[in-house]
């Protein structure tokens, strides 16, 4: 089978994206997905996304981790898929689409995608950490000297040791100023550090507000792959949550599989 694909990235979080509106992709072939995402033997990506038709919105997002398994919501992947839909002419500037965690609204302007995330109704806090679900589960932990922190080693310990087989994404955070934080993320499914994680960035912004490290409802997050902004309304719960940042097409091609 000759497969046409597009490669997109959002602050260094990269994805193979396929237009599957004609339902030609073998969706249950986890080995194929893993091969396409493999950086040595395939295209190379943190995950694979299918764009599909949807009866109640502009399109549907189907997301796979690089291990070949379907997964929970991916924020940067969602932003990249909005850019792809805009490129295809399915949308013009604004959209609503369905993902595994429900309906999302988004806009795109000059390559900047603003994606509405799910409301967050609960944030579990401990003295130096928090746990919350922003479409995917996230552990958020404050650390010092983040630049030299052993993210892969310590992330794996928490991902498996604290959260078991199901696991959680693990975010290590350092505060830069009143409304700016730096983050490095260990992603389950990737089982390594990624340059950026959209649901993780969202979780960090909300967690830092919840524990009183910032009073701002507009937070800047510096991931390894670039800067993102998170805005929200807080009144006990967190609503009207938006993840904002660039998404761009890197290249397109065909591959025999």
Question: Which residues participate in catalysis according to the annotation?
Answer: 74, 197
DSSP label of 89: T
DSSP, collapsed to helix, strand or coil, labels residue 220 as: strand
Tokens representing residue 229 in the block: 């902004």
Instruction: Determine what percent of the chain falls in helix, strand and coil, rounding each to the nearest 5.
Output: 20, 45, 35
Residue with tokens 């309906």: 103
Q: Contact at 8 Å (CB) between 58 and 85?
A: yes
Q: Contact at 8 Å (CB) between 123 and 210?
A: yes
Regarding beta strands 218-223 and 180-187, do their DSSP bridges make them parallel or antiparallel, or are they unpaired? parallel
Q: Contact at 8 Å (CB) between 208 and 232?
A: no
């Amino acid at each position: 089978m000759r497969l046409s694909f597009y490669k997109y990235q959002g602050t260094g979080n990269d994805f193979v994206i396929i237009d599957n509106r004609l339902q030609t992709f073998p969706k249950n072939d986890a080995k194929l997905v893993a091969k396409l995402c493999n950086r040595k033997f395939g295209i190379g990506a943190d995950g694979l996304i299918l764009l599909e038709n949807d009866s109640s919105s502009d399109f549907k997002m189907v997301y796979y981790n690089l291990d070949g398994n379907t997964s929970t919501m991916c924020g940067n992947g969602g932003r990249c898929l909005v850019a792809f839909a805009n490129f295809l002419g399915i949308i013009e500037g604004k959209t609503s689409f369905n993902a595994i965690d429900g309906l999302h609204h988004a806009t795109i302007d000059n390559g900047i995608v603003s994606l509405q995330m799910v409301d967050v109704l609960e944030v579990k806090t401990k003295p130096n950490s928090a746990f919350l679900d922003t479409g995917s589960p996230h552990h958020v932990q404050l650390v010092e000297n983040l630049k030299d922190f052993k993210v892969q080693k310590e992330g794996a310990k928490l991902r498996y040791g604290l959260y078991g087989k199901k696991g959680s994404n693990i975010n290590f955070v350092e505060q830069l100023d009143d409304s700016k934080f730096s983050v490095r993320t260990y992603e389950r499914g990737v089982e390594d550090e990624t340059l950026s994680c959209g649901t993780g960035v969202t979780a960090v912004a909300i967690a830092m507000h919840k524990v009183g490290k910032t009073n701002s409802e507009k937070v800047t997050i510096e991931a390894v792959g670039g800067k993102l902004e998170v805005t929200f309304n807080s009144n006990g719960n967190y609503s009207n949550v938006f993840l904002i940042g660039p998404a761009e097409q890197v290249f397109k091609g065909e591959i025999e599989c």
